[in-house]
Every structure is written in C-alpha cells, then in structure tokens.
Structure 1
C-alpha cells in the first residue's frame, strides 16, 4: 500500500493507514524513509499538501503509532512540532481533530522516557505568539505524558512549570482550562509522600496568589522525611519566592523554615541548583531586613543551608548525561542505524537523568528498539561508572556473620534525624556511635530496641537489649532482684530468681550490706548502671545498645565494664559514650552521624580522628563551635565581703540510712564559700551523694551540725534530676521555668528534712509563749499567746533578724516582729529557715522579671536555642538538651552556690567545654560530684575525697592547692553583672540606670539633720529603718 493513498483524507485515509501500519509493524526497520519524507511534506501548511493531505498524514501517524508502537517511534516522534501546529489548521477542523488525536496517541504509546525527545518542541508551541489551538494541543500532550510517563515528567517539571504557570490565567478560556488541567496532572507526577497531600493546595496557590500565605502555613507544619529532588522543588520554590514578597514577617519566617527543612534532605545538589539563584538572594534580603530578631535568625539558618548546597556544587560531579558521551557509548554498544541511534541515545540520556540505576530496567526499556540485553547492560556499566559512581558500595573484607543490612529514615517529632541512610552490623563487633547533642544517637538506639527501624530484624530473630540506668518510678521500692524479675522480657524468658541473683553478685552487689535485696531507690547512679547491665546479661542478648554505660562509674568500675564488653566475643555492641578512653579501648568500629547519614568506619576513635580531624573535639574539653555557656552572676550577701567567708558548713556529721545498721558517712567536716571550686570524688556507693544531701539539708545528720547563711541561695542539680521535668513534658522549657518560679520561690525545691517538722517539734510549736506588751503610757503587760505561723516578713534590728509572727485567733493588727533568738528558743528554727529560703529566692527573682523574653535569653545562655527553648516541647528534647533545661532552671534565681551531682552525664564534648567555661567565669561557689577526672581536674583545685576506712565506714578527707585557696579567699565579692536593660511582662524594654546611695550625695548640713532625726527616734523608743541605721 502506497503512502500516497492516505493523503485523500477521511475514511479512505483510515483504511489505507491501517494497512500501512500492519506493514510497518512487521518490518524491523520501521517505515520506509521515503514515506517518512512524504508525511513530513504533507503536514506543512502552505506546501504542496492540501487540507485532505494534512488530515491523512495525521491519521497515518495516529494509526501507525497505535499499531506498530515502538517499531516506528523514532520516525514518528520528530513530527510532534508539525502536529501541534496542525491543531490550529485554519482551513480544516478535521485536520485539527486528527492532529490532536495523533499527539495524544504518540504520548500514550511512546517510551516512558520519550518526553525529552519532544519537550523542546512542546515548550516552543506554548509561546504566547502561537495560535491558541497550538498552545492547547501542546498542553494536552504534556498532560498525557504526565499520565503515561510520570517519572520522566517529574524530572522535567523545572522546565515545564514556569511556562504552564504563565498560561493558567490566559485571556483565552480554552488555553486557561487546558493549562490548569495540565498543571494539575504534571504535579501529580511528583513522587514525594511528604508533598503529595499538599499538591492540590500548591496548585491552587500557584493559580491564585491570594492563597499563598495559607499554603505556606500548611507546608511549614509538615515534617519532611523523604529525599527532596528537583520535582517537588519545581512546584514549591516559586511559591516560596511569592511568600518572601508579602509583608507578613510570620510568612517570611515560615518560608525560611520550609527551605531549612527541605534543603537538609537534598542529596544531589544538582537538583537544587536551578532554584538557588533566586532563593539565595531572597533569603539574604530577608535575614537583613526583617525586624524580628528571631525570624532573622531562622532566615539566617536557611541561608546557611543553601550556601552549604552551593559549596557542595563546587566539588560535585554532575550526574546529568552529556549527549556526546552517551552517543559515543551507544554507538559502540548497540550497533543501530543512524536514524534510530539518535533517538535511542535520547532515551539513554533520559534513563541517566531519571537516575534509573538497575541494568535490568535498562535492558527491558531498550529491547523494543532493537537493543540486545548484553548491549544494554554493557552501556549501563560504562555510563554507571561515570554518572552513578556514588551508588557503588565497597566490599568489606570481613567474614563475620552479618546481623543486619537495612536502609531507613528516622524522625523524632518534627525533626528528621537520619535520612535514607544505611546501617550494617556484624556479630561480635563493637561500634562507637558518635554525634553531637540532638543528633539522634539515643533515639536511634531506642528505635532499634522498639523495632521501629525499617528493615531491622525483629526480636524473634535478633535479641536486642537497650541498656540504660533509668529506673521505672513505680518499681523503685522493689529489691534489686525483684526489680529485674518484674521486667516483662525476663518473665517471658522464664529466668529464675537464682539466675538473677547470680548475675547481680557477678557485677558486685555482694559488696552491699543487703546484697541483691537492696532497694532500688537507694542505689546511686553507678549501681543503677550495674543493675541495668545485670538485667541485659540475664537476657543473653545478640546486640547490646548502651547509652553512656560509664556514667556515674568510678575508675575501677569503668575498667570492669570495659573488660566485660571485650569478653563478649559473640555479642555486638553499639555504644554511645563521651568517655573517649572507652571508645578507644573497646570499639573496633565507629558509626558517625553526619548530615543525616550514618558514616561507618573500621577502627577505634583515635584512628577515626586521624582520618577525620574535625572529630578531634571528642578529645578536647573545649567548645569546638565557639559556643559559650554563661551562668548568671550572684549578687551581694549582707555581711559577706570576702569570697573566703563560709556560706555553708558541716561539722562532725554522721548519717545512717534507716535500712542500714552501719553509718554511710561519719565525722564529715567541710565548708563552702564563694571562692570554692570543689570536686567530691570517691568510689561508687561510698556516700558522696549522701554527704551532699546532708550539706543541703535534704537529710539531717544523727550527729554533728549543719549551717547555711540565711541569705545564701543554693542551686542543687541532683544526680537523677530528670524526674522534675519528666512531669512536664507537654511544656516548653520556657513555659516550665515560668511555671516553676511564677510565685517568686521554687515550686520544685526539694522537700528537706531540715525544714520538715517532727511530731515533737510540731507539738512544741503549739505551746503558748509569753509576750510583753507596752501601752501608750509605757506600762508593760504580759500575755500568753499561741503562734499560728510566721507570715514571711523579716527585717534586721541591731544586726539580728526579726520575723513577723501571726497568733492563733488574732487579727492582722496583732502581728508582732520577734527576734530570731526567741523564736529558736520556742522551737521555730525550721520555720525561720523556710522564711530565709523564700526571702533569698525572692531577692534573686527581683533582679530579672520572669518574662518569656528574659527566660528565652537565660536558656540561650546555657546553650538552648530559641527553637528548642521556646518553640519545642520538652518531650521532643534529647538527653543533653534536658540536662541544659535542668541547669537553666536551677540557675534562674542567681544562686551563690551551685552543687552539681554528675553534671557531665549526657553532655557532648562541645557542651562540656562550654560548661567548663561557665564554671570558670562564675563568681559563686561550685561543688561537683563527678567521675570525669579530666573535667574536675581542670576546674577544681580543692578535693573532698570520700573513701571507706578499715571499719568499712566512709569518711571525708579534704585536699587542695593551699596557695590558690588562700588567694581566692582574700578576693572581694563582686556584684551581679550590671544589666543595662530588662524586658518587663508586657515586652517593654526598660533601661536600668545606676542609682547612687543617697548618703553618698548628702551634704554636711543634710547629714546633721538626718543624725538629729535618728537620735530623736531613738529617744522615743522607735525602731530605725535599715537606711537610718547607717552611721557616718
């Protein structure tokens, strides 16, 4: 059948085209070149061809594409430019209909990667200068490609969306409708589960810019975990640029948040490259011009993220196919004719650009075009070496059993911690897990233990135990052996009490007075870790997940843990620790969390640092990022002018716990001043925490005395301080601190025995006391009244405190101020301590108003960024961040003495360096219990050594640098840091002006007058105020 027979048009053309299509289908070479040329001539309007010829040519192309499919595809696809122009044929509607049908058939039957071959022609046809029917034809063909070839369409969105977007509001309704339908369909090709729910809103906002703000709001609340490629960026980037143009600061901030979140998930910087020239200047402008400091900071972080992508681009090897390179390889591997070779080379370029990394997929895709499987795989191997080199994995020379090989993404709350990363573990290997605070170390191990990591073997195949020292509250009153037996996994495994007891003895519980029957609640941090290890040993785990296993442990117990871990030849361990010695001596592999990926390295920490110098911060006790932690400086204390004057003292104190027969500590004598820098050291369980409890008044010694200056404020960060904030995980750190101190004193102050009345003391306080009352004439009357309470009022009279008391069944007018000496005699000593504590707390609270802004600044000073301090609930914080919240809350009232029990636990080296810097510049006294010798030796010239003597009872020996201590003791007390301005509850910034005392300004005449008034008051028997009590 001759091709000329189709040029008659109508039914005759259809009949002839069907016969020609069958001939083409059976011919490996496809169409006759002369027939192809004839079709090309017939399609061109204004040539010799008539409307009937153009209609026939369109029908022939449509029919051949439907029947012969890929056989003649390389010959038919070049007709697309002519077909879309025929959609606007001015002589015949039949030509228009036939051309439109042919374009849709070609899109439907062509290769899934054929779009690249015709896209330039289609985009040219969308030019506003073209006829509207041509524009509609091109739009409809792109829509059909989006339906039939979504992958290749998604990778072309950056080219398509800007042009289609300009047409959605075209004055010609047909163009507008087609453009909107096309925009909707091409956006459906985006394969990103995070973005898919928002595609309708994104498309709608692209059409109607008034919806941009609402759309940005929705996107900003999304947690992105999927890899971000060019496709979602092509749709979202234009909307973000519109968002930066609106006046609303909140919208600009949200745009920056979206960019910050999405840019972290861009694996191939080339995907983001087309959008950087517009987004980077928009962010740079926003971070400079936005008035809100916090919003500027957010914009700055997003700007830094985009800059990091620009830096990666400088050294990035392009994965975009180079046409000349591909054609050369295709020509060698495929052996095709020249006309087919050019089209197949286009398909191969598309396969490369769409990142199809499977040689079987290449073979299946290219087989219909006459390419052998061997030729397709040969081309893949050659081109993969050029463009997919990063996907090639190194083979490990290790015959150990592989326990897992999985690829997963991990998020916590709204934060992505790990993205599309791989984890390989082998039996018997010891892995050190490195990463800064908030990088996801503990979350990863907890997710593994809870079977929440995709691809990780289930517990039925692999026994995995998470070892941590936290004690479940409701089980804390159980003996150690019963606590382990209460674990559901122990019950399920059928482990007996005998086995549990033997394990407890093997980790040292035989040394304790009550051995395995010791109550869990009385265990120190070190013994709690041993308890957790004993439980893990009972479960015979394949993998031990260990979170800071040497926290709270002394040197001997650290060595025991190391030896125990090294003895586990068939057990794999993943260890998170800030103990560099442990990571060096135990670990033979390192897993580092870096840019949302797990980077695995064979060797210990020292070897890892040799290859990665940036990791040197794990050896150094300083902040590698320049982060500085600042503590608020304490104010003056009345009567304390030198730093060496004691603020807290213990003398000859002995204490025995109710369940023990022997004292835990005996004959302890220590003192603390503003100059103190004390490290309290000693083996686990020797009584260090007990001594601190005595010093703070939490418990009362059976022998000896404890004293604290009534105006001294003391901050105590306990070893298990998390229990405070665990009750408020639904609050942000800022909300928690404002709740805790909203009434001036600390709601979560420890209940101290030194301030709790015994039954005998309470009974004595109810007894009536004798008062002497003077009437106007000076007559004295003795009365017996019962004191109901101390109201909280306190003043100084003749260098002694007097406290306001309220009497039973008496009005407020009857209240009297009574001296501390009399109240102590009547049994109200503990009542006075409570008042002293509250007065001291209120003095600290007066210095800085409890406002959101001030608390935010305070949290930033201890290392908690606004994003986490003000905008993130504590349930979403890491262990290191929670420690910072605890420290910030303890320091809010500007204490004079800070007592830290194991402060280094859960803090990374960077935060430890910042904490050390804060302690060095702090003007108050510091006492710390720690097993981190590097930390305490760098800060504390004075040591309290707690150790058991021959009788098995612990005593304290004080050692120190005498010269340093003498020098410090002579230093004068410095006041709190001068504040130039504070922010009140309404957000107003109030300038603080220094005010000199009035007595410094008084002239001699004023002084004589004041002295005369003072003497007159004394003669009348009236009390003088504190200011009037000053002598010249």
Structure 2
C-alpha cells in the first residue's frame, strides 16, 4: 500500500490526536505489500484494532471494527477474504495452532522430504503431499505478520507505561498537611494489572516514621502496588500526603547533576532569583561603584546584624528583601547545596561528576540522580523499588546508614537480605494476592513466617482429620433411623467447622546450568596485562592471574574502578593494551550482565526469542532449556514486555548459557531477582560444574557461592584475605578516615 494512500486514509478515519508512534506502526502495517485485510476487515482488526483503541484514537471495539471494515473497503484488494484455522498451502492443508501459527516448527519442515501430519492420525500420513518452498515462504510471511502485530502491541504498551509514569520533577512541599496523625490506613483495597487481580481485599496501616520492606515473588504485583500508591489510587491516602516513587531515571540534558537535585527546592530557587533581582535594583540606585553588587546566592549581602536590609531610597524593595532573607534562613537555603552534595557523594558522585551535565551519564547513573532527588526532597512517603540495583557496595552501605535515620515513612522493595535487615523495621509479605505484616527485619520475618506456616499446616491437618472422623460417622449411620438425630447434629457440626487458613506454597524455583565439556587447564591466563581505553589513562597494570573450571571468585570494588572492564578483558570483548592473555581454544565463556537483560527483544515471547537467536533448533529443546531457568508453560509463550524484571533475567540466563559455557562471568546477576530466585541461583551455581567469576554486592550470594574475593584497587587485582563482612568493615573504616 503506497504511503500517500495509507496515511491520509487512516488519519481521515481515526484522526491524529492519539499517540503518533502507534499511528506510525499502523501505517507501516498498511504499507506492507503482503498485508491482507480479511473479509469485513477482520484481520485488520486483529492486527491493529485494539492498539488504536488503547492509543486513544478510537472509543471502543465496535468503532474499531467499523473503521477496519472501512479501511478494507477503501484500501483492500479483492482477494482479501476469510481466514480459517486450516489454511490451504500448496500441496495440501497445514494445521494452525491457537496463535494462528503453523504447528510444525520450521526447523522440522524441509522441502521435498517432510510430510504434514494431521491431528487425526497417530502415524504420519505417507501419502500427503510434500511441503514446498512456496509453502515455507508462506509460513515465514505469516510469522512476520504475527511479529509485526506483536511489535505494535509493544509500542502501545510502552506508550501507556510512559504516560502512566511520566510526571514533573519532585518538589519539596512545605507548609502542607495538618497537625493530625500522619499514619496511613489503607483499607479493603485491591490491585490489578491488565485485568489480572494481584492483590485482593488488603488492609495496611503504615505508621509514620517506620520503614517497611515489601517482599514477594517476581510478577506478584509489588511494582504495581507501588505505582498505585504513588498515584493516590488506593483509598486511605490523603491528598496532602506527598509520595515519591523512584521509578524512572532523570532525563539527560545540560543541567548539571547538582543543579538537577537543587532544582527540587522550587521555593529556594524562586527566592534566590528574587533576591538577585532586588539586589540588582538596589545596587542600581546606589550607582555602579557599590561594592555589594551581585552577591545573590551564598549569603545575605546587604543586611545589618539583625537581618534587616540596609537603608535604601526604595523602602518597599528593602522591606521585601528583608522578608526574602528571613525566609531563606528559615528554609536553610544556604545549606541546601551542601546537603545535596553530601547525598550525591554518598551515591558515589565525586565533585567533578556533580558538575557534569546529566546527559553525559548512563541510565544507571541517572537513576542515582533520581534517588538523590527523592532523598533531598524527603517526601511523607518514599517508595523505593530495588534501590540497590544501580549501586556499588560503597553506595549501598552509605544508603543503609542514611535510611536508618530516615525521619518519615519508607516503603521499599528489595531482594537484598542484608539491606532489608539493616534498614527495615517491618516486613510486608505479598503472597497469594494477600499482604501480611511482620514486625522486625528480614531475619525475624523468615523465622516467624516459617513458624506460621508450620502451625497452619498442623491446624489444617488436625481440622481435616476431624472432618474425616465426623464424615465417617455420618456415612456409617446415615440410614440408621435410631441415630438420625445424631447424624443431623454431626451434619450441622460439619457445616459449622470454620475453614482453617492455609498457605499455598510457591512452586520451587530452578536454575539448572548445563554441564559443560571438561577442558583441561590451563584455560585462561593473564601475563603482565595492562589496559586503558584509547586516549585515557591505564585502568590496569601488570595483571597476572589464571582461571580454570574450578575457579570461584567474586570481584569487589567501587563503581568506575574497572570491574566490568575486567570481565570484558577476560571474555575477549576488549583487547589488552600490553602483555598477553592466553585462552584455551576449547573454552567457552558466557557473560551475563544487565546489558543482556536490557537487550531482550521485548516484542517476542521467550520461545520466539530463543528461536531467533539460535535458528535451526527444535522448539522443544528451547522449551526444556527455558524450563531449567523457571520459564516454563505459559511463561514461555508470554510477550516479554509483560514479564517482571526477574523473569526477564532468567530468559537472559537461558540465552547466555545455551552453548554450555565452561566459565560463567556474572555482572550483578541477582539484580531484579526475588529472594526465592536468588536462593535458586545459589543452588544452581553450587551444582554447576564449571568456573564462576562474578561482580556483585549481594553478600548472601557471594558468601554462598564463591571461595575468594578479588579486590580491584589502584589498577591492581589482588586477593582479599578475609570474609565479605570483613571487607565491608574495611570500607566503613576507610570512610571514617
């Protein structure tokens, strides 16, 4: 369909007031030479009807179907007709599955020798015609159409997500609220996403000043709950309660990091600007020789010892300047820069970085800026979702200390046991669409929850025994007239028996890493290796170490010191500047990093993604491999943009381990995984028959899987002879010096 026909026709029928990205997607579908509208525009509706509705172009399904039919009448071809679940390919029928895709995988279909098996035969029908190249082309075309539809759905989802999370920069709110209780009572609320109920009939009381940790499995609704709270969608949150949800990174522009944080205090910014204007006006009256000209930001320049402005020919301006000075003092405007700098320094921004434009930083660093802004604003309720994911160990330790002194209410989602233990006064467990509150940190929760589960099982078993006993009596004497009254009383007793609360146990997570082929040492050796990026200083000098299939190390050190660079040197993604790296040609290295999670094609489902990454492999093999990382059943067929962060991580693990690596290079592997998934990862790594080298700040993961710590300091990589707890203590001691 020519662009000069498709776009005008579409805009005339649906308008252009909706999301332009969705409009572009629909135009691209219409311009596809192989696109078929179907009879009455049915296939057009399947391809983009719902997307036009969700994108704000159309009011509902009926209007969408009518518009698709009009498009078919105006732009369609004569051959557009109905599509059935059996499609006639050259040479005979081809069975389509519930997704309207060919049920025979392309890797099993070879022109000239493969026969189509019908669902009605136990054995392949030997006399069925062979599948030709033309049939294969039609299969490929059908899959391309399906993928195009999935990408349009992804675009619509991303547009909705951006709209839901977009908002103005956080602002310090002063002189708001009442003198009453600041506790939050959230009663009888439910939370759903895409029609699926995630939380049902929950009640929570959040006491002001306490710090709550929210835990639960990936995909159960933790992030959705935080979003609902931040948007005041839950009954019980007053309008004057300021809530900040640190979810999106700061938009990169020419604003410096320090300015991006200070800009949250809009009252301070306005007062300083007014101060400068009043000073300029008063100085102009006194002439160009006034020594007090242009001292707007650091201190009140033209005030006497009592804070009053010096005499002036404009008494009104002088009086207003006095009021401005007083208010600046009240809000500690002149100490704001120091407070912002302390927060940024704690999050590993050195003075030079604080003066750089936000656009020069990666997404992870801009997330730190977003966190710094929230800490600087100090909202009534601060919502943090996995705040340690983008931090190094130094910043995590600082954040723990900072949040322990947090003066207001904190609600945090985290998978890090030590962080939850250090910060939280209470733990809220999201399980089976219910929220259960536990007093104490994570260790206390773990013990209490285990005891509660044991007691619930005992109570359920006892109740079940009693029910069976009563039921046996009823069954035995049901037709005995002499005992009719006793039977009736037992029936009533059975009806009165209260249902005992039962706990639905989660299915066990699995991380089964494939067993690699044994490779005799030496596998990899560094000899006097140095490295530096082109035009920059050396990051490493004279590195000497080796790795084999029994190596188990964790690399520790601050961000920017070169930990990820070292992994890239080992994997071969970077080449040494000097020295020599020897690699056994038989060794296979697999690198897992946040890059692999961010690089997933979210429009595809996990099975499609694996099939695209490794062509000519049977889908059943991929299903089995995905299942070894907990992506099985419907999850393997679910579009990846609908998966949680932890589920996406497991898909990335499945991809990087497909070729049975000898050594795993893991860069923050526990990010986005829930606590149960981290435990499964630990078990999987302990059973893995190859080497493991990881960069992580997750103490529990490190202590459970590796034998030794490597500390990166001063361009060297040296063993740290001590435990992870001792390394943390060393960092804290260095910080105090």
TM-score class, shorter? 0.5 to 0.7
Q: How many angstroms apart in 1 are the aligned matches of 2:236 and 2:625? A: 42
Q: Which among 632, 646, 665 is matched to residue 880 of structure 1?
A: 646
- What RMSD over aligned residues (CA atoms) do the two structures have, in Å? 4.0
- Contact (CA 8 Å) 2:261, 2:376: kept in 1 or not? no
2:553 maps to: 678
Q: TM-score under structure 1 normalisation?
A: 0.38
Aligned partner of residue 945 in structure 1, secondary structure: strand
Q: Which among 399, 402, 405 is matched to residue 186 of structure 2?
A: 405
Aligned partner of residue 698 in structure 1, secondary structure: coil
The within-5 A match list for 1:593-742 is 593-613=430-450, 626-635=508-517, 640=519, 642=520, 644-646=521-523, 648-657=524-533, 662-725=537-600, 728-742=601-615
Larger Rg: 1
2:115 maps to: none
In structure 2, the CA distance between the partners of 1:484 and 1:896, relative to structure 1 (3 Å rule), is farther
Answer yes or no: is 1:939 the counterpart of 2:705. Answer: yes
- Contact (CA 8 Å) 1:413, 1:876: kept in 2 or not? no
Aligned pairs, how many?
Answer: 436
- Contact (CA 8 Å) 1:527, 1:685: kept in 2 or not? no
Q: How many angstroms apart in 1 are the aligned matches of 2:620 and 2:696? A: 33
The alpha carbon displacement at 1:675 in A equals 2.4
Task: Tell me the alpha carbon deviations over residues 204-234 of structure 1, each in whole angstroms, 9 at most, x when there is no partner.
Answer: xxxxxxxxxxxxxxxxxxxxxxxxxxxxxxx
Q: How many angstroms apart in 2 are the aligned matches of 1:903 and 1:466? A: 24
The alpha carbon displacement at 1:400 in A equals 5.1
In structure 2, the CA distance between the partners of 1:707 and 1:410, relative to structure 1 (3 Å rule), is farther
Task: Tell me the alpha carbon deviations over residues 811-847 of structure 1, each in whole angstroms, 9 at most, x when there is no partner.
Answer: xxxxxxxxxxxxxxxxxxxxxxxxxxxxxxxxxxxxx
In structure 2, the CA distance between the partners of 1:526 and 1:471, relative to structure 1 (3 Å rule), is closer
1:581 maps to: 418
From the two aligned structures, give the one with the greater helix fraction: 1
- Contact (CA 8 Å) 1:665, 1:690: kept in 2 or not? no
Aligned partner of residue 627 in structure 1, secondary structure: coil
The alpha carbon displacement at 1:657 in A equals 4.8
The alpha carbon displacement at 1:734 in A equals 1.3
The alpha carbon displacement at 1:651 in A equals 3.1
- Contact (CA 8 Å) 2:249, 2:363: kept in 1 or not? no
- Contact (CA 8 Å) 1:552, 1:931: kept in 2 or not? no
Q: Which among 405, 419, 428 is matched to residue 567 of structure 1?
A: 405
Q: How many angstroms apart in 2 are the aligned matches of 1:537 and 1:663? A: 35
Task: Tell me the alpha carbon deviations over residues 694-742 of structure 1, each in whole angstroms, 9 at most, x when there is no partner.
Answer: 22233344333344344433221124443202xx222111112222233
The alpha carbon displacement at 1:515 in A equals 2.8
Aligned partner of residue 612 in structure 1, secondary structure: helix
The alpha carbon displacement at 1:887 in A equals 0.8
Task: Tell me the alpha carbon deviations over residues 423-456 of structure 1, each in whole angstroms, 9 at most, x when there is no partner.
Answer: 33232121111212222112211332344x3326
- Contact (CA 8 Å) 2:249, 2:369: kept in 1 or not? no
The within-5 A match list for 1:366-377 is none
Task: Tell me the alpha carbon deviations over residues 681-705 of structure 1, each in whole angstroms, 9 at most, x when there is no partner.
Answer: 2234332112112222333443333
Q: How many angstroms apart in 2 are the aligned matches of 1:587 and 1:419? A: 24
Q: How many angstroms apart in 1 are the aligned matches of 2:529 and 2:253? A: 28
The alpha carbon displacement at 1:480 in A equals 3.5
The within-5 A match list for 1:844-883 is 850-870=617-637, 872-883=638-649
Aligned partner of residue 893 in structure 1, secondary structure: coil
- Contact (CA 8 Å) 1:463, 1:541: kept in 2 or not? yes
Q: How many angstroms apart in 2 are the aligned matches of 1:516 and 1:888? A: 39
2:226 maps to: 445
Q: Which among 541, 548, 573 is matched to residue 379 of structure 2?
A: 541
In structure 2, the CA distance between the partners of 1:511 and 1:629, relative to structure 1 (3 Å rule), is closer
Q: How many angstroms apart in 1 are the aligned matches of 2:199 and 2:590? A: 37
- Contact (CA 8 Å) 1:678, 1:928: kept in 2 or not? yes
The within-5 A match list for 1:977-1016 is none
Q: Which among 226, 235, 252 is matched to residue 475 of structure 1?
A: 252
Task: Tell me the alpha carbon deviations over residues 574-606 of structure 1, each in whole angstroms, 9 at most, x when there is no partner.
Answer: 111223333233222222213212223343334
Aligned partner of residue 563 in structure 1, secondary structure: helix
Answer yes or no: is 1:455 the counterpart of 2:235. Answer: yes
Q: How many angstroms apart in 2 are the aligned matches of 1:559 and 1:713? A: 35
- Contact (CA 8 Å) 2:252, 2:361: kept in 1 or not? no
Kindly indicate whether structure 1 or structure 2 has the higher relative contact order, using CA contacts under 8 Å at least 6 residues apart.
2
In structure 2, the CA distance between the partners of 1:491 and 1:854, relative to structure 1 (3 Å rule), is farther
The alpha carbon displacement at 1:421 in A equals 1.9
1:35 maps to: none
- Contact (CA 8 Å) 2:416, 2:675: kept in 1 or not? no
Answer yes or no: is 1:921 the counterpart of 2:690. Answer: no
Aligned partner of residue 867 in structure 1, secondary structure: helix
The alpha carbon displacement at 1:548 in A equals 2.1
In structure 2, the CA distance between the partners of 1:658 and 1:483, relative to structure 1 (3 Å rule), is farther
Q: How many angstroms apart in 2 are the aligned matches of 1:490 and 1:557? A: 24
The alpha carbon displacement at 1:418 in A equals 0.7
The alpha carbon displacement at 1:510 in A equals 7.5
Task: Tell me the alpha carbon deviations over residues 882-923 of structure 1, each in whole angstroms, 9 at most, x when there is no partner.
Answer: 111111111122222221101112222321222122222222
The alpha carbon displacement at 1:537 in A equals 2.2
Q: How many angstroms apart in 2 are the aligned matches of 1:688 and 1:703? A: 18
In structure 2, the CA distance between the partners of 1:879 and 1:514, relative to structure 1 (3 Å rule), is same
Task: Tell me the alpha carbon deviations over residues 359-413 of structure 1, each in whole angstroms, 9 at most, x when there is no partner.
Answer: xxxxxxxxxxxxxxxxxxxxxxxxxxxxxxxxxxxxxxxx952235243222223
Moved more, 514-523 or 407-416: 514-523
- Contact (CA 8 Å) 2:242, 2:380: kept in 1 or not? yes
Q: How many angstroms apart in 2 are the aligned matches of 1:551 and 1:519? A: 23
Aligned partner of residue 653 in structure 1, secondary structure: strand
Q: How many angstroms apart in 1 are the aligned matches of 2:354 and 2:532? A: 20
Q: How many angstroms apart in 2 are the aligned matches of 1:614 and 1:850? A: 47
In structure 2, the CA distance between the partners of 1:685 and 1:628, relative to structure 1 (3 Å rule), is same
2:169 maps to: none
Q: Which among 879, 895, 899 is matched to residue 661 of structure 2?
A: 895
